[in-house]
Homo-oligomer: A and B are copies of this chain.
């Protein structure tokens, strides 16, 4: 009495065969060969010690025992399929919430959001400003887009999208008064910075071969902002020279609202997509692919 249950795969084969009235059709539905289904049915016969099908012409037909089994098993499998389909549907129809820092959201993602939604409508994408400092921490988001430096924690999946590049930017009006050929002349100007990225100016200065002490002094005469977003607005307004991820000023450089006379440098940070553990890859992969494509296009 211990094991009245036969192997489940055999029951599934039975259910499909009984419903479709054909071994071959059932095999087709289950994406296996008819031989595989035939074996499963034989194993069921042996399990129950009674024939569930009899040959009928060149096909098969249920025996009375088979018919009685089918009535219950058919309903059970219908229930099973329905339950799984409902859950799958719930998961797929749920909006995909992408968290992202405000500056990246405002200056890069939002201008592209309409196209993203048109190209990946099945995501039902929702974007929110990320609140936590650690991207993987928020549990109520499907993914987080952010610049961050390796190493990354182990219990989350982090997809690297591109290296961060930063550049010093200035309004064209202000640039007219600077000798942009020599980086050092920059230090005479008002430097704009944000506390959220204290390493940005030192990294840039270092790459340009400038003395850190000189930079410190220049910064002390500069202006700080709470947020990268305000910093960039200040640069556009011609308040001074700002340092910013190239990605966030790309549109401004193209439109001529800002210029970056000293080029850009790569930092150790990477633009990453952080995925909590159980994120459905069917949903995150198209988004990752779209982001990579979008970022790649901009480089050309």
Chain B residues closer than 8 Å to A85, beta-carbon distance:
4
- Cβ A280 vs Cβ B91 within 8 A: no
A5 contacts which of B81, B86, B278 (Cβ < 8 Å)? B81
The reply on A213 being an interface residue by CB < 8 A is no
A280 contacts which of B50, B76, B82, B279 (Cβ < 8 Å)? B50
Q: Mark A63-93, 1 if CB is under 8 A from B, else 0.
A: 0010011011101110111111111101100
- Mostly, the A contact residues are helix
Report the bound CA distance from A77 to B77 in whole Å. 9
Spell out A's residues near B (CB within 8 Å).
4-6, 8-9, 11-12, 45-46, 48-51, 65, 68-69, 71-73, 75-77, 79-88, 90-91, 277-283
- Cβ B4 vs Cβ A84 within 8 A: yes
Report the bound CA distance from A278 to B49 in whole Å. 6
Chain B residues closer than 8 Å to A282, beta-carbon distance:
49
- Cβ A79 vs Cβ B81 within 8 A: no
Who on chain B is nearest to A3 by CB? Answer: B31
Given A50-B280, A278-B50, A280-B50; A73-B65 close (CB under 8 Å): no
